[in-house]
Homo-oligomer: A and B are copies of this chain.
Amino acid sequence: MDTAGRPRRVTRRRAETRRRLLDAALDVFAERGLRGASIEEVCDRAGYTRGAFYSNFRTLDELLLAVSEDYSDQILDRLRSALLNLPDDLPDGEEVLDAALEMVLAVLPDDRRWWLVETELVLHAARNPEAAEAAERLRRRFAAEFTSLVTWAIRRVGREFTCPPEDLVRVIHALLDGAQAQRHLEPDAVPPGRLERLALPALLRAFSRPAGAPH
């Protein structure tokens, strides 16, 4: 009924239903896309009828957004714990960069469903002003957190930026996005991490330097 209404308290049953709907939706959206998915199919897979859906969400659009928030939080958690827990015995000099990079790559999800759904959300937001606002919030939150993590890691690794951190993060983000797409489109030609290992070391070295080094 209302998702923006009273701060309805969530019973156990409700939480469980929502969880299962979100999980099912990730699958269905990945397979069929936003407009290609039907409310009924999501409910079927979650083991409910449409009644459950209408009791928890108003539209498929709203569900897509919820799925995205949910998953994106999971990614941030993993990234955070990977970067904040870099081992103490990192190698010295330049190799430290590559070591840190490996840590990050290891923790980034290679989930095809997520790629599909994220892309779907991007498209949806690009077309729909209301969705755009919500997606923008999500994106900002992610970018802010990501930037601060990268900043922290660059320092941790004994380097400093030679450009605004936001710029570097944008470039990294762009590259990760594009690489992800190629990987999923041509899995054989582009094994996971391939493009990232090619480009990121060069970029990181171009946009940061050992701390205290002369310009």
Mark A residues whose CB is within 8 Å of B: 30-36, 112, 116, 119-120, 122-127, 136, 139, 163, 167, 170-171, 173-179, 181-182, 184-186, 190, 195, 198-199, 202-203, 206-207
Contacts and interface: CB of A to CB of B under 8 A. Distances in A.
A195 B35 CA distance: 32
A175 B163 contact: no
A125 B31 CA distance: 11
Nearest to A168: B198
A146 to B, nearest CB: 13
Q: At the interface, is chain A mostly helix, strand, loop or mixed?
A: helix
Contact of A202 (B30, B31, B123, B207): B207
B182 A195 contact: no
Given A174-B181, A177-B181, A127 B123 contact: no
A167 B197 CA distance: 11
Contacts of A176: 178
A142 to B, nearest CB: 12
